[in-house]
Amino acid sequence: MSPEFIGLLGIISLFSMLALRVPVAFAMFIVGLVGVSVLNSTKAALSLLASESFTLASSHELIVIPLFILMGNVATESGMSRKLYDAAYAMIGTIRGGLASATVIGCAGFAALSGSSVASALTMGRVSLSEMKRFNYSPRLSTGAVAAGGTLGILIPPSTGFVLYAILTRESIGRLFLAGVLPGLLLTFMFVMSIWIMTFFKPELGPPGPSRTLREKIKASLGALPIMVIVLMTIGGIYSGIFSPVEAAAVGVGLTILGGTLAGSLNVEKFVNALKDSVSTTATVMLILIAAHVIGPFLALSHMPTFVGEFLTSLDIGRYGILALILITYLVLGCFMEGFAMMVLTLPIFFPVIVSLGFDPIWFGVVVVMVLEMGLITPPVGINVFIVKSVAPDVPLKEIFIGVLPFLIAMIIAMIFIIMFPAIALYLPNTMIG
């Protein structure tokens, strides 16, 4: 059998195992180890597993993953996420759809602390859904806003999606973080505009919330000030060259712990809970990364990236046509696969094609993460939809999926803007110091 045919069998086997609900990392381990054994030797496969596990576990750059995850978990346990929502609620909650818009803005703010879409959807869902229900918001609008707003967690830095992309493509984590800032703000604006348009034509979807006095607004804003200072210090430190991403992560988690302790909202029990959640999440991400570095050599030995690259570049559809095909593939896979697994499996194949076509790899990282965001709210997987369902068990799953449709359209429009105007993603990383 040719290496290409063995590679194709490996990919078919991988998708078959995923369909049978085999955990992603273990499916990749099996295919990678068996594939390398067939194409090289069993000794080479076992040596690869040992060396890649040690290399990744001792990688200095990967320290950002547990640190930023811990920062988000501490922010959740200490109630900082609630203060973000309260500040947005106080400012715009009195307009039509204001509570839903405040939820989206709160998700954006929390994303800058957690880097996790699931954490953003879960945390903001617990905080905001009861409030929107109390003011007779449409379940479609309220749950859709939470599910879609949560997706901002893997676009607005710090983002575990960008860290994973950087490790797989050997790009700069700091540049990727900065590249996600303006697209993240653009998408937040698009979500808020979607809510405004929906409630403009159908005011009953999101009635105005209670009015707030100036004093209440100032108090709520001051409550969110420490969180915003932490975010500005970490991202601003990376942009100015004062911090590396690893140092920024350490500063961020230190300030978050200090802020929660001084405010009296973080005790030993809550801190231990944050540590436990962080260890669990970090272990999952690291296992997927190690598995990616095991299956990667198998794909290389099978010549699958070269084969797919030659096939795509042979199509007479231009480089944007090829880009469209790649993005459509991501959209289809996103309906059935978890985002990180999709990134791990496809980047070794698609990334060389993108580079050969002359696209900026940092820009492509933003586009890929935006497509992953769409997968978080598209059926049948749509993990953010199921997270929201767990918080709002009385809302049918069908209603939540219908509720995210306007936001999905907004995401597609935002991605078109990023493709048409790459400077939206590249301006900050291209002007960073150092």
Which tens digit of pLDDT belongs to each residue from 221-280?
888 888 888 888 887 887 777 888 888 888 888 988 988 888 888 888 889 998 888 888
What is the reported pLDDT for 407?
94
pLDDT attached to residue 192:
93
* Cα–Cα–Cα angle for 168, 410, 137, rounded to 5 degrees: 120
Instruction: Give the model's confidence band at 411: pLDDT under 50 very low, under 70 low, under 90 confident, else very high.
Output: very high
pLDDT category at 431 given cuts 50, 70, 90 is: confident
How many Å apart are CA 381 and CA 231, to the nearest integer?
31
pLDDT reported for residue 414? 94
Please state the rounded mean pLDDT for residues 202-221: 83
Rounded Cα distance between 390 and 403, Å, is 16
Q: Which of 122-136, 186-200, 413-427 has the lowest mean pLDDT?
A: 122-136
With 60 as the cut, is the pLDDT of residue 433 above it? no
Residue 221 CB-density burial (10 A; 0-12 exposed, 13-18 middle, 19+ buried): middle
Does position 406 have pLDDT exceeding 80, yes or no?
yes
- pLDDT bin (cut points 50, 70, 90) of residue 15 is confident
Whether the per-residue pLDDT at 172 is higher than 70: the answer is yes
Query: How much of the chain, in percent, has pLDDT values that exceed 90?
Result: 18
Predicted pLDDT at 191: 95
Whole-number Å distance between alpha carbons of 153 and 122: 11
pLDDT of residue 242: 83
**Average pLDDT along the chain:** 84
CB distance 335 to 149 below 8 Å = no
- Give the three-state DSSP class for 342: helix
Q: What is the value of pTM for the model shown?
A: 0.82
pLDDT of residue 86: 80
pLDDT tens string 307-318: 777 777 777 788
**pLDDT over threshold 90, residue 319:** no
Query: 70-103: buried (b, 16+ CB within 10 Å) or exposed (e) per residue?
Result: bbbbbbbbbbbbbbbbbbbbbbbbebbbbbbbbb
Q: Would the CA dihedral through 270, 272, 276, 281 be positive or negative?
A: positive
DSSP letters, 88-143, are HHHHHTTSTTHHHHHHHHHHHHHHHHH--HHHHHHHHHHHHHHHHHHTT--HHHHH
Give the residue with greater pLDDT, 336 vs 46.
Answer: 46
**How do residues 79-132 score in pLDDT, each as one tens digit?**
777 787 788 878 887 788 888 998 898 888 877 777 677 777 877 888 788 888
pLDDT recorded at residue 207: 87
156-165, 299-308, 402-411: which is most confident:
402-411
Q: How far apart are the C-alpha atoms of 181 and 369, rounded to whole Å?
A: 12
In this prediction, residue 415 carries a pLDDT of 93
For residue 58, how far is the Cα from the chain centroid?
24
Q: What is the pLDDT of residue 412?
A: 92
Predicted confidence (pLDDT) at residue 29 exceeds the cutoff of 60? yes
Q: 347 or 366: whose pLDDT is higher?
A: 366
pLDDT of residue 194: 94
Mean pLDDT score, 55-75: 80
- Residue 73 and residue 269: Cα distance in Å, rounded? 13
Q: In this structure, are residues 403 and 139 in contact, taking their beta carbons and an 8 Å threshold?
A: yes
pLDDT of residue 113: 73
| Predicted confidence (pLDDT) at residue 434 exceeds the cutoff of 60 | no
- Distance, in Å, from the CA atom of 347 to the CA atom of 333, rounded to the nearest integer, reads 13
Contacts of 249 (CB under 8 A, 6+ apart): 63, 64, 67, 68, 71, 158, 234
Provide the pLDDT confidence category of residue 365 given band limits of 50, 70 and 90.
very high
Tokens of 306: 């070269």
For the chain, what percent of residues have pLDDT higher than 70? 98
pLDDT of residue 423: 94
Position 405 scores a pLDDT of 93
Cα–Cα dist 318/314, whole Å: 10
How far is Cα 433 from Cα 410, in angstroms, rounded to an integer? 32
Would you tell me how many other CB atoms lie within 10 Å of the CB of residue 277?
18
User: Is residue 172 within 8 Å of 226, Cβ to Cβ?
Assistant: no
Question: How distant, in Å, are the alpha carbons of 142, 253, 339, 352 from that of 108?
Answer: 16, 18, 19, 32
